[in-house]
């Protein structure tokens, strides 16, 4: 703009006053950046809160499962067969029941057992000491029992007390004939007549 000379009028730009409706519709780039940052901040906060809640819930489930099962069963390490040597072993707790022994894996959050052995169909097919590769992650006082439960084959690493308990549980199983006769009892009428 040229400097004003005396006697010459300088035109000034006319600025219209804005009404509130036009002022609210106008946003600057700084305002939209603040809004985007605020939205992302809220979304990240919600995501972090949900993640913390999921982790806390999982920790409570795992801790509760660990504390309740540890006092009721025998610690075992189990794997399905065939597997490469020293691979796929899972730590757990073996809990004996009337007709089934249930294995609860330590790294599982399932409320029910992860594996069960039937008392009537489980057989011990062999024993062996732990291998040198397995000795790197298993305790020295453990040995491995080979089990067959129906069509499935398993290996269970136990100490001497656990081995004795498993053998006693299997050998004290009632005979199949006795199981059938117990099932023939009618609760309302007593024994069923042939």
CATH number at residue 116: 2.30.29.30
Q: What are phi and psi of 43, to 5 degrees?
A: -65, -45
* Same domain (yes/no): 63, 114: no
Q: Which domain holds residue 97?
A: 73-177
Three-state SS at 186: strand
Is 61 inside any structural domain?
yes
4-12 mean pLDDT: 62
Domain's final residue, options 71, 86, 115: 71
Distance CA 37, CA 22 (A): 24
Same-domain check for residues 90 and 135: yes
Q: How far apart, in whole angstroms, are the C-alpha atoms of residue 142 and residue 155?
A: 12
- List, for residues 46-77, the tens digit of each pLDDT value: 999 999 999 998 888 777 777 776 677 888 99
Domain boundary pick from 25, 46, 71: 71
- The answer to whether residues 152 and 112 belong to one domain is yes
The number of distinct structural domains making up the chain is: 2
**Once rounded to an integer, what is the mean pLDDT over residues 160-175?**
87
How far is residue 172's CA from residue 101's CA, in Å, rounded to a whole number? 13
pLDDT tens per residue across span 178-194: 555 555 555 565 555 44
């Amino acid at each position: 703009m040229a400097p004003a000379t005396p006697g010459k009028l300088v035109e000034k730009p006319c600025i219209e006053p804005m009404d509130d409706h036009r002022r609210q519709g106008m946003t600057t780039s700084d305002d939209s950046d603040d809004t985007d940052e605020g939205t992302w901040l809220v979304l990240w906060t919600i995501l972090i809160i949900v993640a913390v809640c999921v982790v806390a819930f999982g920790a409570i489930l795992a801790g509760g499962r660990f504390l309740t099962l540890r006092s009721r069963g025998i610690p075992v390490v189990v794997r399905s067969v065939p597997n490469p040597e020293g691979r796929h072993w899972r730590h757990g707790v073996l809990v004996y029941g009337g007709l089934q022994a249930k294995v609860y894996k330590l790294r599982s959050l399932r409320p029910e057992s992860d594996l069960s052995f039937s008392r009537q169909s489980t057989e011990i097919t062999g024993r062996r000491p732990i291998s040198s590769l397995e000795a790197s992650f298993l305790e020295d006082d453990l040995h491995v029992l080979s089990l067959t439960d129906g069509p499935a084959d398993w290996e269970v690493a136990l100490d001497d007390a656990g081995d004795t308990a498993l053998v006693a549980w299997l050998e004290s199983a009632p005979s199949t004939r006795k199981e059938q006769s117990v099932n023939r009892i009618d609760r309302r009428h007593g024994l069923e007549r042939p």
